[in-house]
């Protein structure tokens, strides 16, 4: 028995769900640090240019592919290419990649659950100690928290597009935005916060370099969930009465706004409670900053707001990060589920259960990669470094393959589907698109400048990580 495909109930439902998939750990943590270490406002300007001229066109192309085919990434490449085996294989990359990204995202989200439990029990001082993170990630009790998390995630996914994904996004995305703005306003009132604002927003062009430009593009591309098949899949649930350009623009603005406000939260907080902070020493790793550095900053707040006040601020922040991780995790897991439903004619229940089993099998070695198992902790080595199983998943599927998939989407759209095919889809629901400056730019850039830039990022990443 085949499963009828879901559909978002409205354009707002799509926008919130797509924004939920895009807003993640990179927005809330990695982006502020990257901006501060790479010229502040100068980095922001470059980032915004990349979002507008590189990422936005790729977003529209992915959503258009999904809506035209009404299928998952494999089915979309297959249907639009007329059954080409090589393009179907390309679509498989956009299924395997989110599945493997969900593996390490699951592990990180479990850590967030543990941190929230510790904070609720008054353990902020313990979380601020150097050795605590290592103890938590190596504790066998993580598997119990993982079971609870995954049961909750897959129950949400059993609800389908409207009853699960969209309902979650409608609750969590506005909540996340309100909490972020409220916490930012609180931090900005603290003495010393102005130093962080200046560091974040005053441009310093002496810190600009080629690696800065590459980092800005990588962050923008990853932040908007491009190359993961998410927007192709969500496009397949998108109404043909709504505008793809307008909706994609709104998602990009929401995602970028969250990242910007996160910068206004984290950098002023760091400087307010540790004026001697050298941001060059801050790790751009979301994991390192969230779990090792920020608890110390929150603990230092007790001088101003007391231990209880500092704990409450820490809880609010970790809830923010948890909500962002949860919406991203649900979105990522939906991609292979849509594949099982479309290509194997499974019911949603059977597809969800299949995905639950597969994700659990891969999440176990990823969880064991931090000291519980020597085999998975020292899984392999490359680039002169020892790598765990978790590291391999992160490096290969998050850092490396995403720009490659984005590159193939551009080539496919421009040379296999043809720009006329993309245009015919984009004008549905948006009569103003045809003949617009945006159409002329896409017709030129999607088959030339944009794939060249994305392929350069892919090559640069391979050289940086593996050689």
pLDDT at 340: 95
Chain segment 343-367, per-residue pLDDT in tens: 999 999 999 999 999 999 999 999 9
Chain segment 85-122, per-residue pLDDT in tens: 999 999 999 999 999 999 999 999 999 999 999 999 99
pTM score of the predicted model: 0.93
Chain segment 306-327, per-residue pLDDT in tens: 999 999 999 999 999 899 999 9
- Of 30-39, 90-99, 240-249, 295-304, minimum mean pLDDT range: 30-39
**Maximum distance among all Cα pairs of the chain, rounded to whole angstroms:** 66
Extract long-range pairs of 383-386: CB within 8 Å, 24+ residues apart: 383/464, 383/465, 383/466, 383/467
pLDDT at 162: 84
What whole-number percentage of the chain has pLDDT above 90?
64
Q: 56-69 vs 244-273: helix axis angle to the nearest 10?
A: 130
pLDDT band at 200, cuts 50/70/90? confident
- Given a contact cutoff of 8 angstroms between Cβ atoms, the answer to whether 40 and 199 are in contact is yes
| 30-59: average pLDDT | 86
pLDDT at 7: 84
pLDDT band at 187, cuts 50/70/90? confident
pLDDT band at 36, cuts 50/70/90? confident
Burial 222-260 (b: 16+ CB within 10 A, else e): bbbbbbbbbbbbbbbbbbeebbbbebbbbbbebbbbbbb
pLDDT at 227: 86
Measured CA angle at 27 (ends 22, 33), to 5 deg: 160
| 126-151: average pLDDT | 95
Query: Which sign does the torsion angle of CA 150, 153, 155, 160 carry?
Result: negative
pLDDT band at 189, cuts 50/70/90? confident
Q: What is the mean pLDDT of the chain?
A: 90
Domains and CATH numbers, the chain: 11-70+99-379 (1.20.1740)
Task: Please say if the pLDDT value at position 161 is more than 90.
Answer: no
**139 three-state secondary structure:** coil
């Amino acid at each position: 028995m085949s499963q009828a495909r879901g559909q978002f109930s409205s354009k707002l439902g799509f926008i919130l769900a797509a924004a939920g998939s895009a807003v993640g750990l990179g927005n809330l943590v990695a982006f502020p640090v990257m901006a501060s270490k790479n010229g502040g406002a100068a980095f922001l300007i470059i980032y915004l240019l990349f979002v507008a001229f590189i990422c936005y066109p790729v977003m529209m192309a992915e959503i258009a592919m999904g809506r035209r085919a009404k299928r998952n990434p494999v089915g979309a490449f297959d249907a639009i290419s007329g059954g080409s085996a090589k393009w179907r294989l390309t679509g498989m990359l956009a299924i395997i990649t989110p599945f493997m990204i969900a593996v390490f995202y699951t592990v990180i989200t479990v850590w967030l659950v543990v941190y929230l439990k510790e904070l609720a029990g008054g353990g902020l001082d313990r979380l601020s100690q150097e050795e605590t993170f290592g103890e938590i990630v190596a504790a066998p009790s993580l598997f119990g928290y993982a079971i609870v998390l995954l049961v909750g995630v897959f129950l949400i996914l059993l609800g389908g597009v409207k009853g699960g994904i969209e309902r979650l996004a409608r609750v969590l995305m506005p909540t996340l935005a309100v909490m972020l703005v409220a916490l930012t306003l609180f931090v900005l009132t603290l003495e010393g916060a102005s130093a962080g604002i200046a560091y974040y927003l005053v441009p310093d062009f002496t810190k600009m370099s080629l690696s800065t430009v590459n980092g800005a593009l990588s962050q923008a591309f990853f932040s908007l969930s491009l190359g993961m098949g998410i927007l192709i899949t969500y496009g397949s649930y998108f109404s043909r009465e709504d505008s793809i350009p307008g909706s994609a623009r709104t998602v990009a603005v929401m995602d970028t706004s969250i990242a910007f406000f996160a910068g206004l939260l984290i950098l002023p907080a760091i400087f307010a409670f540790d004026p001697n902070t050298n941001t060059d020493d801050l790790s751009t790793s979301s994991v390192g900053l969230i779990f090792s550095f920020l608890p110390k900053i929150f603990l230092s707040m007790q001088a101003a707001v007391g231990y209880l006040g500092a704990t409450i601020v820490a809880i609010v922040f970790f809830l923010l990060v948890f909500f962002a991780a949860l919406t991203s995790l649900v979105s990522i897991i939906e991609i292979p589920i849509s594949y099982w439903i479309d290509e194997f004619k499974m019911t949603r229940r059977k597809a969800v259960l299949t995905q639950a089993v597969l994700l659990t099998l891969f999440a176990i070695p990823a969880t064991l990669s931090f000291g519980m198992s020597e085999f998975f902790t020292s899984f392999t080595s490359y680039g002169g470094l020892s790598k765990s199983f978790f590291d391999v998943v992160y490096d290969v599927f998050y850092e490396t393959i995403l720009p490659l998939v984005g590159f193939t989407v551009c080539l496919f759209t421009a040379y296999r589907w043809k720009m006329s095919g993309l245009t015919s889809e984009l004008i549905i629901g948006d009569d103003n698109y045809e003949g617009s400056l945006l159409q002329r730019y896409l017709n030129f850039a999607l088959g030339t400048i944009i794939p060249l830039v994305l392929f350069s990022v892919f090559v640069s990443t391979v050289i940086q990580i593996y050689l």
